[in-house]
A and B are shown apart, each in its own frame.
Chain A
Amino acid sequence: MSLGVFGTRHTQALLGSFGRLSRNPLATALTLLVIGLALALPAALDLFVSNAQVATGGFGDAVDMSVYLKTGVPLAQARQLAADARERPGVARVTLIPADEGLKEFRRYSGFGAALDALPSNPLPDVLHVVPRASASSAADLESLRRYFTAWPEVDVVQLDTQWVLRFNAILAVLRRLALIAAVLLGAGVLAVVGNTIRLEILNRRAEIEVTKLVGGSNAFVRRPFLYTGLLYGIGGAVLAWVILEAALLILDPSVLTLAQLYGSRFALQGPSRQVLGALFGGGMGLGWAGAWISAHRHLRSIEPRA
């Protein structure tokens, strides 16, 4: 078979499949919708995780810890401790927040002003706000710094303020895993949907397949249009999934912008990356083709011409 004939055959099969799909717009649209949603869901989860990571990316650098001194430690001693802490290598900045200031701040932001007035004395301790150098903010460095402060007799509690960031990142990792599981499960769903759709089409075109085999059509020839149909379903589903994602982003964008502004952040939603789009289209096409192939392989074999 020459290359030209090869190309002609494939073009014919592709155009034939396209024509058949466009002649049944409703059925095609429903199938595409199912595939599109199945592809969009894991992609949306992944997009959520990526955006959450970008949004909190700024916090990752802002590693700091709060060293709570025991109540009753005099302010002068607290100042001395702050000065000592500044001497330690790896420490960039130490700010002493005396109990009185802490109380003022708390009164201003918490809204518990009246309740605080009822207290006989200030329940808050003096706090050292310690910011380590960027070069010394690995998990191990932070841990050793924490132990250093904990060892002081005047220190009550050392709170690593980065802990929530670590936890948040762990949550994102869980979500990413979840997206992967969803992708696998929904991918299997796409495989089944395409396979079943192709199976129905094969049964509908039984007579045509019989005649084609009768005049010498090979299995490959008979199978080809169904494979292209599967491929087109995959591409169409991926396009639809992309549209769904972009629409969701468009709807979310204003409210996310407002939220970001309230946090003083200039964060804006990121669209799907090239990798995500590549996975969307690659996955869609691969699953469509594979679903059609499995179905065609199973069902075409059983259709043999009868005279």
Chain B
Amino acid sequence: MIQFERVSKRYPNGREALTHVSFYLASGEMAFLTGRSGAGKSTVLKLIALLERPTRGTVTVNGKSTGSLKARHIPAFRRQIGVVFQDHKLLVDRPVFDNVALPLVVAGAPLKEVDKRVRAALDQVGLLGKERMLPAELSVGEQQRVGIARAVVSKPPLIIADEPTGNLDPDLALEVMRLFRRFSDVGVTVLVATHDQHLVGEFAKREIVLASGEIQDDGADSLPHVVATR
């Protein structure tokens, strides 16, 4: 689903965020992307969502190389990726329903379908019945779950999340991670960037460790090995 081949990323300000990063994430796999802040986690996610393009190397997502994708094909490309942000990036002046419906609306889904799917997504994150509320009327944890509902509403084959639990207390964080695991259980590829080692330890999933823009531990090959080292 995701393949990085000797990917380097240098920002215009000269900072080299990633150096020769290579990893492969299979379809349906769930993995954590860990490392200190500034290790390059966000850059990896930006390269996947095509918010940035690699300086060197190739990033392939769902069979498409992002380096050569034309601008007019980017929207369709992004529609197959559900993105969750730490600051959830909700539209504050729109009710929950509109926020969650946005990916379906931009894809041109029929209204009936939108209604059905938005309710299903909100049900999955336990927010059914709050469609008409504004994001500001919700707790931080609920806002984050609205963001997750928006990421999954169009049933993308890939979900990426950047520090989705960063603002949440441990209980809520665990709950959100379980949510991601549930999506993974039904075949969605999930990549979660987090610096919360404790939380990662709760789940027996692959862990890709980044340090100073390089892969320190790929975590692939043998899942049991990763579990055993803890």
Using CB atoms and an 8 Å cutoff, list the residues of chain A in contact with chain B: 1, 4-6, 8-9, 12, 207-208, 210-219, 221, 304-307
**Residue among B76, B89, B110, B111 making CB contact with A214, cutoff 8 Å:** B89
Q: How far is the CB of A100 from chain B (nearest CB, A)?
A: 89
Closest to B92 in A: A207
**Residue among A4, A218, A307 making CB contact with B85, cutoff 8 Å:** A307
Closest to B109 in A: A5
**Residue among A214, A218, A219 making CB contact with B49, cutoff 8 Å:** A214
**Are B106 and A217 in contact, with the CB atoms below 8 A?**
yes
Besides A4-B110, A210-B89, A307-B42, 4 more A-B contacts (Cβ < 8 Å) are A213-B78, A214-B78, A219-B75, A307-B46
**Are A216 and B105 in contact, with the CB atoms below 8 A?**
no
Give CA–CA (A215, B99) in the complex, Å.
Answer: 11
For A221, list chain B residues within 8 Å (CB): 75, 106
Q: How far is the CB of A261 from chain B (nearest CB, A)?
A: 60
**Are A218 and B106 in contact, with the CB atoms below 8 A?**
yes
**Are A306 and B51 in contact, with the CB atoms below 8 A?**
yes
**Residue among B49, B72, B91 making CB contact with A307, cutoff 8 Å:** B49
Interface of A is mostly: helix
Closest to A9 in B: B108
Determine whether B102 belongs to the interface, using a CB cutoff of 8 Å to chain A. yes
Give CA–CA (A70, B23) in the complex, Å.
Answer: 113
For B108, list chain A residues within 8 Å (CB): 1, 5-6, 8-9
Give CA–CA (A110, B75) in the complex, Å.
Answer: 83
Determine whether B79 belongs to the interface, using a CB cutoff of 8 Å to chain A. yes
For A215, list chain B residues within 8 Å (CB): 78-79, 83, 102-103, 106, 150
Determine the interface band of chain B, counting residues with CB < 8 A from chain A: 20 to 34
Q: How far is the CB of A232 from chain B (nearest CB, A)?
A: 20
**Are B85 and A216 in contact, with the CB atoms below 8 A?**
no
Give CA–CA (A306, B79) in the complex, Å.
Answer: 16
Give CA–CA (A20, B222) in the complex, Å.
Answer: 55
Using CB atoms and an 8 Å cutoff, list the residues of chain B in contact with chain A: 42, 45-46, 49, 51, 72, 75-79, 83, 85, 89-91, 102-103, 105-111, 150, 162
**Are A8 and B111 in contact, with the CB atoms below 8 A?**
yes
**Residue among B42, B89, B91, B107 making CB contact with A216, cutoff 8 Å:** B107
**Are A12 and B107 in contact, with the CB atoms below 8 A?**
no
For B75, list chain A residues within 8 Å (CB): 213, 216-219, 221
Closest to A221 in B: B106
Closest to A211 in B: B89
Give CA–CA (A212, B98) in the complex, Å.
Answer: 12
Closest to A4 in B: B110
Give CA–CA (A276, B127) in the complex, Å.
Answer: 56
Give CA–CA (A1, B107) in the complex, Å.
Answer: 9
Closest to A306 in B: B51
Chain B CB count within 10 A is highest, among A5, A211, A221, A306, for: A211
For B91, list chain A residues within 8 Å (CB): 207-208, 211
Chain B CB count within 10 A is highest, among A1, A9, A211, A307, for: A307
Closest to A218 in B: B75
For B90, list chain A residues within 8 Å (CB): 211
Q: Take A1-B108, A8-B111, A208-B91 as given contacts and tell me if A307 and B45 are in contact as well, using a CB distance cutoff of 8 Å.
A: yes
Q: How far is the CB of B38 from chain A (nearest CB, A)?
A: 15
For B83, list chain A residues within 8 Å (CB): 214-215, 307
**Are B102 and A212 in contact, with the CB atoms below 8 A?**
yes
Give CA–CA (A304, B50) in the complex, Å.
Answer: 11
**Are B76 and A216 in contact, with the CB atoms below 8 A?**
yes
Q: Take A215-B78, A215-B150, A216-B75 as given contacts and tell me if A305 and B51 are in contact as well, using a CB distance cutoff of 8 Å.
A: yes
